[in-house]
C-alpha cells in the first residue's frame, strides 16, 4: 500500500512539474505574444518621420492631424523632431520648431521639475514653483543655462511680491536663473555666469575686455561688428556702413574656425557686398554661408543667391558667374537667369541664344524642361511676330498678339531657377519677419509681372495705331491687365500701388465706352467698373 501511494505521489509530483513547465512555456509564449503585439502598436521611426513630413503639407487639416498624432506619441516623436529642426521647406521648419517648443518641457532634460513647477504656476503658487525650479537647478547645473528653464524661473520671480522675495537666498547662479543680471554683475565680480550676464545685458565691449577668449566672445564680437545682437531678427539685413563690414568680417571668419556664428557672419558679409553693389562677391559669400556651421542659413542663403541673380545682377555679371562660379549649382542658376533677364528686357534673339546655350552646356541642368518651353515660345511664337511690328498693315495685329502672349502666360517672366520657392521665401522674410527693406526693388517686381509686360505691348499698340480696328479690344485688355497685375503676388512691391493699378484699370474700361461706343465689350466693361467701385477703399493696402 505504501509503495502504491509512493508511486502515486511521484506521479503527482511529475504531473505537477510537467504542469508547471507547461504553465511556464505558456506564460513565456503569452509574454512574447504580448511583446510582439506591443511592438506592433508602438509607432515606428518610419511612421513618425512620415508624420513629421506632413507638418509641411499644404493642407492645414493634414498638418493639424499630424501635429496631434506626434503630440500623442510623445518622447519618440520628440527625439525624431530634433533631427528635423532645419529644413529647406519653411512651412515644415516652422511646424517642427513649434512642436519642439511644446514638447521640450516634457521630454527635455528636466521634465519632472518642469511638470511640478508648471503645476504650481497654474495654481498661482509662484513661490512654490520657484522653490521647485531652484531645487532642480541646484542639483543639475546644465539646467541653469537652459533658456526655457530660465524663462519659467524668471517668470515666477516676477510674480512674487517684494516682501516674499526676501525668503529666497539666491547665490550667483540663482540670480542668473531668475534673470537678475544687473545684480549678479554688481555683486559677483568673479561669478562663472558673469560672462553670460554681460552678454545678455548687451554690454559687449565690457564682456570682450573681461573675457577676450571666452565662449561668447565671437558672438559679442559679431554683435559689435554688426550693430545688432547675434540672432536678432534684423541682424543680417540692416547695415549703415557696408564698407566697414566688408573690411572686418573676413578677419572675424578667419579667427573663429568652426564657430556657429560663422554662417551668420558670412551672410552679413555677403549682404554688405550686395548693398555696396558688388554682386559677384555677394553670391560667393552667400554660397559660403550656406555651407558653414551651424547650418541655419542653408536655405536662406540659397534663396538670397537666387534673388541676387534674378533681381540685381546685370547680364554681364550673370554671364561671368555662370562661367566662373566654383559651384555647379550656382553656375546653373546664373546661366538660366541670364536667358530670363534677356527675355524680360525684350532681347528675344539673345534670350533664345542664351536658352540654347544653357541646354547645350548643361544637358542635366535643373531647368532643362522650362528652358525648352521658353526657347520654343520665343522661336515659334515671338520671333515670327518681330518683322511684322514695323509693317503698317500688320503692326497692330502683331503688337496685340505680343500682348496676348504675355497676358496668358503667367510664367512668361518667371525665373525657373526658383523652382516655385520664390513666394515661400518672400512670404517668410516679409510676412513672418518683416524684412521688407531687403526687397525694396519695384523695378524687379514690375519686370516679373506678366500683366504689366502685356500692358506695355497694348499701350504701344494704342500709341502707334490710334485708329486700329483692335482699339476696343486693346482698351479692354489694358483694363484687364491693370485689374490683374496687383493680384499676381501680394508680396510684390510694384512702382504703382494696388489702388493706382485699379485706377488705371477703371480708366481703360471707361475708355472702351467713351471711344468705342459701338463695341460689344462696352456692357462688360461697365459692369467691371461697378465691381471695382464696390471694393473697399483700403483694398490690398496692407
Let me know whether 170 and 226 are in one domain: no
Measured CA to CA in angstroms, residue 305 lies from 251, 264, 288, 337, 362 at distances of: 23, 15, 11, 11, 19
Task: Judge whether 63 and 95 are in contact, CB under 8 Å.
Answer: yes
For residue 118, being part of any structural domain is answered with yes
pLDDT-based confidence at residue 464 (cuts at 50, 70, 90)? very high
For residue 3, being part of any structural domain is answered with no
For residue 317, being part of any structural domain is answered with no
CATH of the domain at 405: 1.25.40.10
pLDDT at 85 (0 to 100): 62
CATH of the domain at 172: 1.25.40
Let me know whether 130 and 209 are in one domain: no
- The Cα–Cα gap between 461 and 481 comes to 14
Could you give the percent of the chain with pLDDT greater than 90? 57
Q: Which residues of 27-63 are buried (b: 16+ CB within 10 A; e: fewer)?
A: eeeeeeeeeeeeeeeebeeeebeebbbbbbbeeeeeb
Let me know whether 196 and 206 are in one domain: no
DSSP states of 83-107: GGSS-SSHHHHHHHHHHHHHHHHHH
Let me know whether 161 and 212 are in one domain: no
pLDDT of 57 above 60: yes
pLDDT-based confidence at residue 4 (cuts at 50, 70, 90)? very low
Q: Compute and round to an integer the Cα radius of gyration of the chain.
A: 34
Number of separate domains in the chain:
3
Let me know whether 408 and 460 are in one domain: yes
Let me know whether 153 and 280 are in one domain: no
For residue 156, being part of any structural domain is answered with yes
Q: For residue 421, what is its C-alpha cell?
A: 520657392
Q: What is the pLDDT of residues 422-450, one digit of tens each?
A: 988 888 887 666 677 778 889 999 999 99
Let me know whether 266 and 181 are in one domain: no
pLDDT at 14 (0 to 100): 45
pLDDT of 171 above 60: yes
Q: For residue 211, what is its C-alpha cell?
A: 573675457
Q: What is the pTM of this model?
A: 0.72
**Domain-ending residue, one of 280, 296, 312:** 296
**Cis before 294? omega within 30:** yes
Let me know whether 229 and 261 are in one domain: yes
For residue 509, being part of any structural domain is answered with yes
Q: What is the pLDDT of residues 286-321, one digit of tens each?
A: 999 999 988 888 998 999 999 999 999 999 999 999
Most confident of 128-137, 144-153, 238-247, 464-473: 464-473
Let me know whether 227 and 153 are in one domain: no
pLDDT of 122 above 50: yes
CA quadruple 466, 471, 472, 478: dihedral positive or negative?
negative
pLDDT of 101 above 90: no
- The Cα–Cα gap between 523 and 520 comes to 7
For residue 219, being part of any structural domain is answered with yes
Q: Which residue has the higher pLDDT, 71 or 459?
A: 459
Task: Judge whether 440 and 493 are in contact, CB under 8 Å.
Answer: yes
Let me know whether 291 and 188 are in one domain: no
For residue 374, being part of any structural domain is answered with no
Let me know whether 397 and 542 are in one domain: yes
**Domain-ending residue, one of 181, 200, 219:** 200
Q: Tell me the residue range of the domain where 231 lies.
A: 202-296
Task: Judge whether 344 and 444 are in contact, CB under 8 Å.
Answer: no
DSSP, collapsed to helix, strand or coil, labels residue 515 as helix
**Domain-ending residue, one of 200, 219, 235:** 200
Q: What is the pLDDT of residues 321-353, one digit of tens each?
A: 999 999 999 999 999 999 999 999 999 999 999
pLDDT of 32 above 60: no
Let me know whether 397 and 266 are in one domain: no
For residue 523, being part of any structural domain is answered with yes
Amino acid at each position: 500500500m505504501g509503495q502504491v501511494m509512493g508511486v502515486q505521489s511521484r506521479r503527482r509530483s511529475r504531473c505537477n512539474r510537467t504542469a508547471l513547465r507547461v504553465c511556464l512555456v505558456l506564460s513565456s509564449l503569452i509574454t512574447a505574444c504580448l511583446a510582439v503585439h506591443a511592438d506592433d502598436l508602438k509607432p515606428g521611426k518610419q511612421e513618425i518621420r512620415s508624420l513629421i513630413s506632413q507638418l509641411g503639407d499644404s493642407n492645414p487639416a493634414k498638418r493639424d492631424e499630424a501635429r496631434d498624432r506626434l503630440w500623442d506619441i510623445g518622447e519618440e516623436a520628440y527625439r525624431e523632431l530634433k533631427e528635423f529642426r532645419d529644413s529647406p521647406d519653411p512651412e515644415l521648419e516652422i511646424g517642427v520648431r513649434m512642436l519642439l517648443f511644446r514638447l521640450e518641457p516634457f521630454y527635455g532634460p528636466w521634465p519632472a521639475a518642469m511638470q511640478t513647477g508648471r503645476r504650481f504656476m497654474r495654481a498661482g503658487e509662484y513661490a512654490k514653483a520657484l522653490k521647485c525650479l531652484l531645487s532642480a537647478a541646484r542639483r543639475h547645473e546644465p539646467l541653469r543655462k537652459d533658456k526655457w528653464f530660465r524663462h519659467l524661473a524668471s517668470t515666477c520671480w516676477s510674480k512674487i511680491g517684494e516682501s516674499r522675495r526676501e525668503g529666497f537666498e539666491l547665490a550667483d547662479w540663482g540670480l542668473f536663473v531668475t534673470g537678475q543680471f544687473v545684480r549678479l554683475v554688481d555683486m559677483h565680480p568673479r561669478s562663472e555666469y558673469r560672462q553670460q550676464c554681460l552678454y545678455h545685458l548687451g554690454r559687449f565691449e565690457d564682456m570682450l575686455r573681461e573675457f577676450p577668449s571666452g565662449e561668447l566672445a565671437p558672438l559679442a564680437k559679431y554683435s559689435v561688428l554688426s550693430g545688432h545682437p547675434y540672432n536678432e531678427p534684423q541682424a543680417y539685413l540692416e547695415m549703415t556702413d557696408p564698407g566697414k563690414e566688408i573690411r572686418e568680417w573676413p578677419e572675424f571668419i578667419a579667427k573663429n574656425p568652426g564657430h556657429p556664428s560663422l554662417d551668420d557672419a558670412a551672410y552679413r558679409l555677403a549682404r554688405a557686398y550686395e548693398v555696396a553693389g558688388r554682386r559677384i562677391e555677394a553670391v560667393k559669400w552667400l554660397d559660403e554661408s550656406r555651407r558653414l556651421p551651424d547650418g541655419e542659413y542653408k536655405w536662406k542663403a540659397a534663396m538670397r543667391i537666387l534673388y541676387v541673380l534674378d533681381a540685381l545682377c546685370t547680364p554681364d555679371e550673370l554671364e561671368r558667374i555662370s562661367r566662373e562660379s566654383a559651384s555647379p549649382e550656382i553656375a546653373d542658376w546664373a546661366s538660366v537667369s541670364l536667358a530670363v533677364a534677356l527675355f524680360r528686357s525684350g532681347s528675344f534673339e539673345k534670350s533664345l541664344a542664351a536658352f540654347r546655350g544653357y541646354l547645350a552646356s548643361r544637358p542635366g541642368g535643373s531647368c532643362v524642361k522650362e528652358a525648352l518651353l521658353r526657347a520654343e515660345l520665343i522661336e515659334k511664337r515671338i520671333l515670327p511676330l518681330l518683322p511684322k511690328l514695323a509693317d503698317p498693315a500688320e503692326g497692330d495685329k502683331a503688337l496685340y498678339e505680343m500682348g496676348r502672349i504675355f497676358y496668358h502666360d503667367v510664367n512668361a517672366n518667371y525665373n525657373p531657377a526658383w523652382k516655385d520657392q520664390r513666394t515661400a521665401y518672400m512670404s517668410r522674410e516679409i510676412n513672418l519677419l518683416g524684412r521688407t527693406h531687403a526687397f525694396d526693388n519695384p523695378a524687379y517686381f514690375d519686370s516679373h509681372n506678366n500683366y504689366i509686360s502685356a500692358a506695355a505691348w497694348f499701350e504701344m499698340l494704342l500709341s502707334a495705331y490710334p485708329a486700329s480696328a483692335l482699339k476696343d479690344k486693346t482698351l479692354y485688355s489694358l483694363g484687364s491687365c491693370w485689374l490683374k497685375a496687383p493680384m499676381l503676388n501680394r508680396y510684390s512691391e510694384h512702382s504703382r500701388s494696388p489702388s493706382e493699378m485699379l485706377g488705371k484699370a477703371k480708366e481703360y474700361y471707361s475708355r472702351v465706352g467713351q471711344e468705342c461706343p459701338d463695341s460689344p465689350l462696352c456692357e462688360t466693361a461697365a459692369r467691371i467698373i461697378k465691381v471695382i467701385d464696390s471694393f473697399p477703399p483700403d483694398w490690398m493696402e496692407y
